[in-house]
Amino acid sequence: MKPTIVRNIKRADAGVVKQLGAMGVATVHEAQGRTGLMRPFMRPIYPTARVSGSAVTVLCHPGDNLMIHAAMEQARAGDILVVTTVSESTDGMFGDLLAVSARSRGVVGLIIDAGVRDVADLTSMDFPVWSRAIHSQGTVKNTPGSVNVPVICAGAPVNPGDVIVGDVDGVVVVPRERAAEVLKLSQDRLAKEAKSRERLASGELGLDFYGLRAKLAELGVQYVDGET
């Protein structure tokens, strides 16, 4: 694949992106049919990290952050860098200088299937990052890669301009074209869950609420009494 930097990608509506962030990862994942979720090894560097934004994708050689610099020029306010490497790596490709640069561009967060460092600084800055590892290992700037091409990041396909939502539950990707629809579905789900929460809080069992008693019987689950 010839190394390529794509300029001027399309993004989802900023209002939709913002509201998707308020929905949370689990809700969005459910609302869009349980797709788009990254693997559970992607963890926030501090537990209150929470973000939504438009993906600027970055495909790097392992141990090489050259293309993150190239990506910065393509990023706009509200974007999130989504960085992955050609093969698995935990190197610390991103630290406080890049975060300063990112913030000056309006970049609102980083999703990186590799390592990150200067975590104390990033936390002080409240610059949210989800990564595979925290590692100080330095990187070089020698090998080309691509910006704003489709990538697989932590098991999830990401296209440039897709909406990224991250919180303590992980990271989910919403295809750009589906953003408004998924927002609506997420809002519906939250509304429905609010009602369910009330009934469950009042002591109603999920067995009754979801009508599972018949299912258990049909599946041949037997009830027996314990030793008394």
Q: Are strands 146-147 and 51-60 parallel, antiparallel or unpaired?
A: antiparallel
Q: Which of 64, 108, 110, 185 binds a copy of itself (CB under 8 A)?
A: 64
Using DSSP, state whether 31 is helix, strand or coil.
helix
Site string for a copy of itself, 139-178 (x = CB under 8 A): -xxxxx-x-x---x--xxx--x------xxxx-x------
10 scored as a contact of a copy of itself (CB under 8 A): yes
The two tokens of residue 75 are 């990023």
The two tokens of residue 8 are 């001027």
CB contact set of 67 (below 8 Å; sequence gap of 6+):
58, 59, 60, 144, 145, 146, 147
Q: Which of 12, 17, 54, 117 binds a copy of itself (CB under 8 A)?
A: 117
21 scored as a contact of a copy of itself (CB under 8 A): no
Task: Give the Cα separation of 176 and 162 in Å (integer).
Answer: 4
Asked if residues 24 and 156 have their Cβ atoms less than 8 Å apart, the reply is no
Binding segment for a copy of itself (CB under 8 A), chosen from 14-22, 115-123, 180-188, is: 115-123
187 scored as a contact of a copy of itself (CB under 8 A): no
Q: Which of 12, 21, 23, 24 binds a copy of itself (CB under 8 A)?
A: 24
Site string for a copy of itself, 79-98 (x = CB under 8 A): -------xxxxxxx--xxxx
